[in-house]
């Protein structure tokens, strides 16, 4: 029924199939509601303000193209989210002048109004030796991710705003702003802005995708969350809690970096081994940040040019955990600007050094967001 409903909905609205290099402009429309399954090549119309009225799934073989300047407003609810299945692709091709914006449609928007964006790829995740490991999406166990194709291509996200995300059905089943499940390095993700996300702003569940120029403001839980064997690079990221920030979570962090899923399978192969470079983590509020950076559960972190700022931080760098410490071959350099007595926990002697020359993220590339640094 969902597939039939989507076709009946889209065909009258002038949304046409096109090739990657097509310059065809969809016919103008006045109104559009999005939900159901996309199984063909569909291009939205930037002249239309869309409403996300239910779960929108890009199925295997389907392509969803969102041109620069397109706005999608989601109705409130856990089931209001966009999910790209394995073999599906999304192309959110915003520009600095005309970003793609997916936001809450509520009159007074808040964190957790709608789900967010989930991409399921076929790249490797951590798991037992000798098998091709897969997992299932937290918000829908029928949606599989993982595999053995680290070059998998799920599309393009550029100049994309995701705001007021993170709806939940329970404490254990909740959305993030952007969830990257086994996403491959053939996927391009650059210039992403995620303000006011409930739960994590971005979470990588394995995969090999690289992300560049990522900005996060006032995420309810972690700014950057890694688990289940991610092996990509995050280059140039800025996360901030503004003055007056509070959280509903018990241990919100700047970066929470795990090797395997929930620390329950410490013997996994293909555990997280990633690079974070040119990173700034800021706490301007009085709410205590549990850790600026937590590396644990077998994760190998390579972190360079990290700048931590703020005065209410429990630990600057913590490589300890009851389910397994961070990998002792991790290499981290950081600078701290603040007056907190927070320190470093490094019992296994990973390479953690202070570098006074660190400058963190280049904030000039985030001017398109309108954020006042």
pLDDT of residue 27: 38
pLDDT of residue 2: 37
Note the pLDDT tens digit of each residue in 193-227: 999 999 999 999 999 999 999 999 999 999 999 99
How many separate domains does the chain show? 1
Note the pLDDT tens digit of each residue in 152-193: 999 999 999 999 999 998 877 899 999 999 999 999 999 999
Give residues with Cβ within 8 angstroms of 331, minimum separation 6: 301, 302, 303, 304, 350, 351
pLDDT of residue 283: 98
Query: Tens-digit pLDDT profile for the chain (373 aa)?
Result: 333 334 334 433 334 344 444 444 443 333 599 999 999 999 999 999 999 999 999 999 999 999 999 999 999 999 999 999 999 999 999 999 999 999 999 999 999 999 999 999 999 999 999 999 999 999 999 999 999 999 999 999 999 999 999 999 887 789 999 999 999 999 999 999 999 999 999 999 999 999 999 999 999 999 999 999 999 999 999 999 999 999 999 999 999 999 999 999 999 999 999 999 999 999 999 999 999 999 999 999 999 999 999 999 999 999 999 999 999 999 999 999 999 999 999 999 999 999 999 999 999 999 999 999 9
pLDDT of residue 31: 52
The domain of 202 spans 2-369
pLDDT of residue 266: 97
Dihedral of CA 362/327/253/186: which sign? positive
Rg (CA), the chain: 20
Residue 288: CB atoms within 10 Å: 16
Strands (E), 184-296: 188-195, 202-205, 211-217, 224-227, 233-241, 253-258, 273-283, 289-296
pLDDT of residue 29: 36
d(CA 242, CA 92): 28
Residue 15: left if φ>0, alpha if ψ -120 to 50, beta else—which one?
beta
């Amino acid at each position: 029924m969902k597939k039939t409903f989507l076709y009946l909905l889209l065909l009258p609205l002038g949304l046409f199939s096109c090739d990657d290099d097509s310059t065809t402009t969809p016919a103008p429309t006045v109104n559009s509601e999005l939900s159901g399954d996309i199984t063909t090549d569909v291009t939205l119309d930037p002249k239309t303000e869309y409403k996300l009225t239910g779960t929108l799934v890009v199925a295997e073989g389907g392509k969803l193209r969102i041109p620069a300047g397109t706005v999608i407003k989601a109705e409130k609810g856990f089931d209001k989210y966009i999910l790209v299945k394995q073999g599906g692709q999304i192309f959110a091709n915003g520009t600095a002048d005309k970003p793609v914006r997916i936001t809450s449609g509520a009159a007074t928007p808040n964190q957790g109004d709608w789900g967010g964006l989930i991409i399921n790829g076929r790249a490797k995740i951590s798991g037992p030796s000798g098998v091709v490991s897969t997992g299932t999406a937290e918000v829908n166990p029928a949606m599989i991710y993982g595999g053995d194709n680290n070059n998998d291509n799920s599309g393009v996200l550029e100049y994309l705003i995701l705001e007021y995300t993170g709806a939940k059905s329970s404490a254990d089943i909740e959305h993030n702003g952007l969830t990257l499940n086994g996403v491959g390095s053939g996927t391009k993700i650059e210039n992403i802005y995620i303000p006011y996300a409930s739960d994590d702003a971005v979470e990588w569940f394995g995969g090999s995708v690289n992300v560049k120029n990522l900005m996060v403001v006032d995420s309810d839980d972690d700014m950057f969350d890694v688990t289940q064997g991610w092996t990509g690079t995050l280059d140039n990221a800025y996360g901030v809690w503004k003055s007056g920030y509070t959280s509903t979570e018990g241990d919100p962090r700047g970066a929470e970096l795990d090797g395997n899923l929930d620390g329950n399978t410490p013997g996994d192969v293909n555990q997280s081994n990633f690079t974070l470079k040119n990173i700034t983590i800021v706490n301007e509020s009085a709410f205590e940040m549990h850790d600026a950076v937590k590396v644990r559960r077998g994760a190998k972190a390579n972190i360079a040019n990290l700048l931590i700022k703020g005065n209410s931080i429990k630990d600057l760098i913590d490589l300890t955990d009851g389910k397994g410490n961070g990998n002792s071959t991790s290499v981290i350099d950081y600078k701290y600007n603040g007056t907190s007595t927070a320190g470093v926990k490094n019992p296994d002697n990973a390479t953690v050094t202070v570098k006074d020359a660190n400058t963190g993220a280049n904030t000039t590339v985030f001017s398109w967001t309108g954020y006042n640094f």
